[in-house]
């Protein structure tokens, strides 16, 4: 049966690759690289750099595939994502059928860790459910943007004995700080931190983590929120895109 390795590649620094990931990369017949839409962000370049650095057989085929664009018009968020995943599943199915022998192996390089705010696993499960192509798969964990953020800021993720919520900008206001003392916010296009009015909250923000362009800012939220918003806007304009993440904290170790 075909075997697909979903390899977590970390978040921009090729040195985030684990030995397990490198070994899997070197065990496969072909490597799939998402290209479309990622060209402008340099994300495809990181994947190519990883292949150039770590592939011991430089003749391993790298096959680029187009990622369909999510349609948002006339549909709810959930409907849009569902239809988008169906489109990607169709691309995967074709790609696996066309480029893998029935007993062949391939790698798909997944940003960060495949289990965190990434749908590669669930889209592959759709492909399996369709039943048109026989494929087994393994997941190789990767360094997440959360780990990259806390490591760069040199902080622990959690307060002693306290929970952490991982959420999106859309949902932040529903939980922080009323329900959780630590929230990690990903996929925030609306800068939801700017709407949190809490004088005691602290923020640790990072953009382009792991890359040469990494930016870090931290401080009392009320003091640094305007600086983060301005820095984010300027960086986004300069690069044409941005990937950022932040941790909001209220409270201290041993404060209860
Ligand atoms: C679709 S999610 C993918 C997360 C990824 N699977 C992981 O393990 O981190 C994309 C979000 O992750 C965060 N992210 C990923 N890479 C990042 C980086 N290098 N710097 C800052 N944030 C990053 C951003 O919040 C971005 O909106």
Looking at the 3D structure of the chain, how many domains does it have? 2
Q: Is residue 256 part of a domain?
A: no
Can you give the CATH number for the domain in which 209 is found? 3.30.950.10
Q: Which two tokens stand for residue 166?
A: 């991982």
Q: Is residue 181 part of a domain?
A: yes
Q: Are 46 and 244 in contact (CB under 8 A)?
A: no
User: CA 12, CA 251: separation in Å to the nearest integer?
Assistant: 31
Q: Is 112 in the pocket of ligand 1 (CB under 6 A)?
A: yes
User: CA 212, CA 17: separation in Å to the nearest integer?
Assistant: 16
Q: Is residue 254 part of a domain?
A: no
Q: Clarify whether residues 174 and 76 are in a common domain.
A: no
Measure 207 CA to ligand 1 centroid, in angstroms. 9
Point out the ligand 1 atom lying closest to the alpha carbon of residue 208: 20
According to DSSP H, which parts of 26-159 are helical?
A: 43-54, 77-99, 120-130, 145-153
Q: Clarify whether residues 235 and 134 are in a common domain.
A: no
Measure 206 CA to ligand 1 centroid, in angstroms. 10
Counting ligand 1 atoms within 8 A of each CB, the residue from 111, 152, 169 with the most, and so the one to mutate, is: 111
The domain in which residue 196 lies consists of 146-249
Q: What is the pLDDT along the chain (256 residues), one digit of tens a residue?
A: 999 999 999 999 999 999 999 999 999 999 999 876 655 567 778 898 999 999 999 899 999 888 888 888 888 888 889 999 999 999 999 999 999 999 999 999 999 999 999 999 999 999 999 999 999 999 999 999 999 999 999 999 999 999 999 999 999 999 998 888 999 999 999 999 999 999 889 999 999 999 999 999 999 999 999 999 999 999 999 999 999 999 999 999 998 7
Give the closest residue to 189 by CA, choosing from 225, 249, 153, 236.
236
Q: Which two tokens stand for residue 131?
A: 């039943």
Point out the ligand 1 atom lying closest to the alpha carbon of residue 210: 19
Q: Is 247 in the pocket of ligand 1 (CB under 6 A)?
A: no
């Amino acid at each position: 049966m075909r075997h697909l390795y979903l390899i977590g590649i970390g978040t921009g620094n090729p040195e985030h690759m684990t030995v397990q990931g490198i070994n899997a990369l070197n065990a496969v017949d072909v490597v799939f690289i998402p290209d479309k839409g990622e060209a402008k962000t340099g994300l495809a370049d990181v994947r190519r750099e990883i292949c150039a650095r770590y592939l011991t057989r430089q003749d391993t085929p790298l096959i680029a595939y187009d990622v369909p664009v999510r349609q948002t018009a006339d549909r709810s968020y959930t409907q849009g994502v569902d239809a988008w995943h169906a489109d990607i599943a169709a691309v995967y199915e074709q790609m696996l059928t066309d480029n893998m022998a029935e007993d062949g192996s391939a790698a798909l390089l997944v940003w960060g860790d495949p289990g965190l705010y990434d749908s590669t696993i669930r889209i592959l499960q759709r492909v399996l459910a369709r039943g048109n192509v026989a494929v087994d798969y393994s997941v190789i964990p990767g360094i997440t943007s959360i780990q990259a953020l806390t490591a760069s800021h040199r902080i622990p993720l959690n307060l002693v004995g306290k929970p952490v919520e991982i959420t999106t900008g859309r949902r932040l206001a529903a939980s922080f700080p009323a329900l959780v003392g630590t929230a990690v916010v990903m996929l925030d296009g609306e800068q939801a931190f700017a709407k949190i009015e809490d004088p005691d909250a602290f923020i640790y923000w990072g953009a382009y983590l792991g890359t040469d362009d990494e930016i870090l800012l931290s401080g009392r939220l009320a003091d640094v929120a305007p600086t983060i918003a301005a820095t984010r806007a300027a960086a986004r304009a300069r690069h044409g895109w941005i990937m950022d993440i932040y941790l909001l904290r209220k409270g201290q170790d041993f404060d209860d």
